[in-house]
Each structure stands twice: as structure tokens, then as C-alpha cells.
Amino acid sequence: MQLLYELEKKFIENKNSQLAAKQSAYMRNRFPFFGISKPVQTQYEKPLFKKHPIDSTEDLKNILLALFKKEQREFHYTACHLAYYKSNLWTPDTLLVFEYMIRNHSWWDTVDEIAARLVGTLIVRFPSEIVKMDEWIKDDHLWIRRTALIFQLKQKEATDTDRLAIYCQKVMEEKDFFIRKAIGWCLREYSKTNPSFVQNFINTHKDRLSPLSVREGSKYLK
């Protein structure tokens, strides 16, 4: 994969150990970094995406998986960017690739982008895939459940309110911070579109919702 080879060469040639240490510390030392800032990474990626075009769904799948098998975090960011850049190649089965990306090297910085920008957009394009979220909200993997909660963040009036309510109810008594935060986040975002729905939901379930979820979900309510 020439694109991957040239990208890695760029990262190695321009690595910054001081910035890498700061980036890793910010992510609780879960991942090694080259120390490439986001604007600089974008400058490297865009020309390479054009220089090495990907023309098939299978090729896109293979390079996304290869990027996510690398250890340095910049590769995982590139996978997220490339997946969206080549969204014309998506099929319903691309959801399986996104699932792999969520389950591996899992942390909020990639999962939240994959959830709202990739999974959410794919389900809008292939609506029958929304039933997969009914499985994901019950999954043992924390970040898969979080994805089921927040995949509709950008959908505004098109939000499936039944699923939004049911999913929040299924996990609202969990104690994990990232689940509680996600409940508040998806309610807060939808309150910009339908504040009465969110207010009614919070009022109805206030005894079961965590204070964090209530606080986050109520942020834009009067």
C-alpha cells in the first residue's frame, strides 16, 4: 500500500518527541504518537489521498484496517479522515469496518468521530442498518454502546426519537462516565431541535438518570 508507506515516511521524518509526549499524556498514555499536530497531519494526508486514489470498496476496507493495526495514534486519525473522504465507496458492509475501528485502540478521540461522522452518516445512507444499533446498545463493549447512543448527534429533525429514548433508558443506570456523558450529550444536542421532548424525557426519568446526564442534557433548556 503505497499511500500507507508514504504516509508513515512523512510521519517518521517529521516526528516531534516533545509534542508526542504531550499528546500521549493527554490521552492518558494509552497510545504512542509521532508528535504530528492535526493541521500538519491534514497537510500530509490530502496530497497523498489524491496521489494514491482508492477506487474500490475492498481497497478502502484493506487500508482502513491496515491503518488501525498500526500503533501510533496518527494512523488511526488518518483512517477516520480517509473513511469519510472516500464515503462514495461505502456499502452497508462498511459498518463492519467501522465496528472494527471502534473496538480496537478504543478511546473517545476516535470513537466519537467514528460514531457521529461515519456510523451516523452511513445509517442515513443505508437506513436498514439502523437495526444494528439495537444490538450495539446491548453490547458488552463500552465504546460500542457509546456509539449507539451518539450516532444520531448530527441528525436533528431526522433523529429517531423512539430509539434515542429507548437507548438512553437501557443504559441510564450504568455508572461509567463515558456512558453517562454520552446520554447527556445526545439529549443536549437533540434539545436544540426538540427541547420539549428532551425536557419531558429528563423530567420522566430524573430519578434514574445520573446528575451528569441531567446536567449535560439540560444545558440548553430554559
As a whole-number percent, the residues of the chain with pLDDT over 90 amount to 99
DSSP 147-207: HHHHTTTT-GGG--HHHHHHHHHHHTT---HHHHHHHHHHHHHHHTT-HHHHHHHHHHHTT
pLDDT digits (tens, 9 = 90+) for 49-60: 999 999 999 999
Query: Residue 63 pLDDT more than 90?
Result: yes
pLDDT digits (tens, 9 = 90+) for 1-21: 899 999 999 999 999 999 999
pLDDT digits (tens, 9 = 90+) for 29-54: 999 999 999 999 999 999 999 999 99
Set out the domains of the chain in order of their start, with CATH numbers: 1-89 (1.25.10.90), 124-222 (1.25.40.290)
Burial code (b: 16+ CB inside 10 Å, e: under 16) for 130-169 equals eebbeebbebeebbbbbbbbbbbbebeeebbeebbbebbb
Read off the pLDDT of each residue in 95-103 and give the average, rounded to a whole number.
98
pLDDT digits (tens, 9 = 90+) for 126-175: 999 999 999 999 999 999 999 999 999 999 999 999 999 999 999 999 99
Task: Please enumerate in sequence order all residues whose Cβ is within 8 A of that of 8, keeping only pairs 6 or more positions apart, or say none.
Answer: 70, 75
